[in-house]
Homo-oligomer: A and B are copies of this chain.
Amino acid sequence: MYKTVMLAHGAGGKQTSELIDQIFKVHFSNPDLTADDAAVLPIESGKIAFTTDGFIVSPYEFPGGNIGKLSICGTVNDLSCMGAKPLYLSCAFVIEEGFPMEKLEQIAEAMEKTAKEAGVKIVAGDTKVTGKGQVDNIFITTTGIGRILAGANPSGKLARQGDAVIVTGDIGRHGCAILLARDEFGIDANITSDCAPLWDTVKQMFNTTKNIHVIRDATRGGVGTVLYEIAGQSGVGIRLDAEKIPVAGEVSGICGMLGLEPLYLACEGRLVVFVPKEEALSVIETLHGCPYSKNAAIIGEVTSDMPGKVIMKTAIGSQTLLPQPGGELLPRIC
C-alpha cells in the first residue's frame, strides 16, 4: 500500500478502488455498503430525518477524538436532536495529496468504532483528492438518514413558558480542546473534547417522557448561540442561572485566562433540552444514568418576558443580558 494519499487515489480508477478496498471496505463493511453509484436500502413508511454536515476541524486530531469520530458524532447527534434513530450514513472525503495513509486509516477506524456505538451503518461514500495546498489535510462531509420515533416531535420552535432548560453535561470542552490543540497559546492543560454519539442518551430521554419540546446539540457557537436561536424561533425569553451551568474547572480556568465565555465555546457531545418543568427531574435522573450526561443539570427556565433574549442571573443575584452571539470566536472548530 502507498504511504501517502496520491492524486491517483481520487481519480476514480484502479488506485481509487484499491484505497476503497484496503481502507474503507475494511472499516465500513456491512451488507448495505454499496459498490455501485448509490446504496439500495429498504425503508418503511413513516417520517425520516435527513441531515448533512461538513467537517473541517483543525487540527484533525485532538485530545478526545479526531475528524473521523467528530464527523460521525455530528451527524448522529443532528439526527438524534430530531428524535430520529440514526440508520444510515454516507461520507465524502476530500483529502490533500500527500496525506499520510496511516492517519487516514486511524480516521476510518474512529468512524467505524463510533458508528458501531451509535448503531448506524455507513453505506455510501466518495473520495476526492486535491493537489498540495488546495485543501488543508482532510475534510469529511457526513450525511445521515434516521427514523423519527413515533410521538417524537422536538423542534426549536416549541419552547414554552414554564419549560426547564437542561444541558446534558459540562460545557465548552470541545472548543477549549481545539483551542489548546492549536498550540498558539502555549498553555498546558488536560482538557479532552466532549465529542460523543448521543443517540442512546436521546432514546433514554424519550423512554422517560415523550413530552420533550426542544433538543439541540450545542456545537458551533456553543450553548449561548443555541439558546438565542431557540428564543428567536419560539418567540420566548430564557433566564439562566449562572451558578447552575456545569463547567469543568480546567475549562473555567482557561476561559478566565483568555477572557472567553464558556457559553460560547463549542460542545460536540452536549445537548440543550427543553421540557415542561414537571418532567425535568425525571429527565435529569435518566440523564445521570447515561454515560455522556453524568453532569446534566437544569440551568434555567423559559419566560414570557423579553422574547428573543437570554438573561443570566449571576452569582451575586444581579441579572444581565447575555450578549447576542456573532462574529467568529474560533474558526474550524468542527
Using CB atoms and an 8 Å cutoff, list the residues of chain A in contact with chain B: 6-8, 10-17, 34-56, 58, 77-79, 81-82, 84, 88, 90-94, 123-131, 133-136, 139, 141, 143-146, 148, 155-156, 216-217, 219-221, 225, 229, 233, 324-329, 331-332
Contact = CB atoms under 8 A, between A and B. Distances in A.
Given A11-B331, A54-B94, 6 more contacts: A8-B326, A10-B220, A36-B155, A43-B46, A50-B145, A135-B135
Given A52-B125, A145-B145, A324-B14, A36 B82 contact: yes
Contacts of A134: 56, 58, 135-136, 332
A94 B39 CA distance: 25
Nearest to A77: B37
Contacts of A155: 36
Contacts of A90: 50-52, 143
List the 10 shortest-distance A-B pairs measured between CB atoms, nearest first.
A12-B220, A38-B51, A141-B141, A52-B90, A143-B143, A38-B49, A54-B92, A37-B78, A14-B326, A7-B328
Within the oligomer, what is the number of copies of this chain? 2
Nearest to A229: B17
A152 to B, nearest CB: 10
A109 to B, nearest CB: 20
A134 to B, nearest CB: 4
Contacts of A141: 52, 54, 92, 126, 141, 143
Nearest to A52: B90
25 contacts: A11-B327, A11-B329, A13-B325, A13-B326, A14-B325, A14-B327, A39-B51, A42-B47, A51-B90, A52-B90, A52-B124, A52-B143, A54-B92, A54-B94, A54-B126, A56-B94, A56-B135, A90-B143, A94-B139, A128-B332, A130-B136, A134-B136, A134-B332, A135-B135, A141-B143
